[in-house]
Structure 1
Amino acid sequence: MSELLERDGVRGHLHRPAGAGVAGLVLTHGAGSDCDTKLLRAVTDGFVERGIVVLRFDLPFRQRRASGPPHPSKAAEDRDGVAAAVAVMRELVSVPVWAGGHSYGGRQASMLASERPGLVDALLLLSYPLHPPAKPEKLRTEHLPGLRTPSVVVHGSKDPFATTDEMRSALELIPAPTTLVELEGARHDLAPDKFPVVERAVTAMLDLL
């Protein structure tokens, strides 16, 4: 069961499982897309089938305009958008609340969790953009040593934003339990129709419970 949700600056789709939810997940998109991507829809369905309440939502930059990438100067507003979605979910459920997203969305969720310890109970990072393609020296790891939230990172072995070894090294910076789920042959989009991204992401997150 799903419904459109627009409140407190949050715009998205709320999906409820058949029974009582065992956790709540707020899930958002990457820099070039919105919350209606094939990946987010597939991941949402997989979690709902396993008893998770999911809010699939658009970040503030996407609410402002239908296309185009986010501007770096507005990234804090996108983190505020994740926090607003978490607040809505906290009002809806009395179970653990997770935050996650694909690429840019996951990065902003992880930065928010580093800035505000305890805001969420776990993170799901799909294709974390560790560095720009072909620029491995520009690592996006500054906030990781301050991240004390258990995290699941789903990574494709052919993702140009990080090699698996680079991702492993980055996760060692996080002083909290981390799980790296590698999908052999997958690229940045994780192609849920070709790879078991949904099954493996759901299993890894439920293991945190």
Structure 2
Amino acid sequence: MEIVTAHGPAEAVLDGPDGPAGLPFLLVLTHGSNGGVDAPDLLAVRDVALGLGGAVARVLQPFRAAGRRAPGPAAKQDEAWLEIVGALRRRYGDVPLVQGGRSNGARVACRTAREAGAAGVIALAFPLHPPGKPDKSRAGELRAAGVEVLVVNGDRDPFGIPDAADAAQVAVLPGERHDLAKDPAAAGAAAGPWLRRWSAGPRVAGRRPAGAGRTTA
């Protein structure tokens, strides 16, 4: 599905039900700054969502569709993302929306969650800071999301690991680096209980679920 935005066309790969009838939730996922929609962790989370009856849209953002590696200004990237989500919501109706992505895509999902009307965010490999620069923390993007955020990071990620206080839940996967490629199914397993909550209906923004905090898979 091509979606035209003010900053160029995007592409969405759609899986699962193609309409809102009986749909428990819509999950919209996107890639990192130099990645694509077939990243192993994205596919693992997609598969779990499909198993719960949800619809999944994996979005190739305009800068990647145009062959660029750098996303450009955050404001323009977020504007395009909100246009993309708006088009998808028109297709799927007023069902609970969960949005997420990996790395740079996780940042976009957090920054736009409130305006997109998301019920929650899945942040895979959230890049807490540039490698070797812990003073350049991006934890504020997690805390300002305005909705519950599940973070899934590897314990060897050079971009750092958010603290338990930064999100509703932080799942730390042993032996994983930033690509979460050693055992992608573990990322899906971490997202499973989270998505089951959304499949039961929308959550209250900002409320921390039972058992929230930092966990090690």
TM-score range, shorter chain: 0.7 to 0.9
| Structure 2 unmatched runs, 5+ | 201-217
**Cα distance in structure 2, aligned partners of 1:145 and 1:105:** 16
Q: Which has the higher contact order (CA 8 A, sep 6+)?
A: 2
Give the match for residue 171 of structure 2. 181
Q: Note the 1:8-157 alignment, pairs <5 A.
A: 8-9=4-5, 10-17=10-17, 20-65=22-67, 67-71=68-72, 74-91=73-90, 92-113=92-113, 116=115, 119-157=117-155
Please give the TM-score of this superposition, normalised by the length of structure 2: 0.79
Give the match for residue 3 of structure 2. 7
String of CA shifts for 1:144-169, please: whole Å, max 9, x gaps: 44332111111111111114xxx115
CA displacement at 1:190 relative to structure 2 = 1.0
CA RMSD, 1 decimal:
2.3
- Between the two proteins, what is the percent identity of the paired residues? 32
Indicate if the aligned counterparts of 1:106 and 1:126 stay in contact, CA closer than 8 A.
yes
Count of aligned residue pairs for this structure pair: 192
| Structure 1 unmatched runs, 5+ | none
Indicate if the aligned counterparts of 2:28 and 2:99 stay in contact, CA closer than 8 A.
yes
**Cα distance in structure 2, aligned partners of 1:124 and 1:113:** 11
| Segments of 4+ moved more than 6 angstroms | none
Q: Note the 1:154-173 alignment, pairs <5 A.
A: 154-163=152-161, 167-168=162-163, 171=166
**Cα distance in structure 2, aligned partners of 1:83 and 1:203:** 26
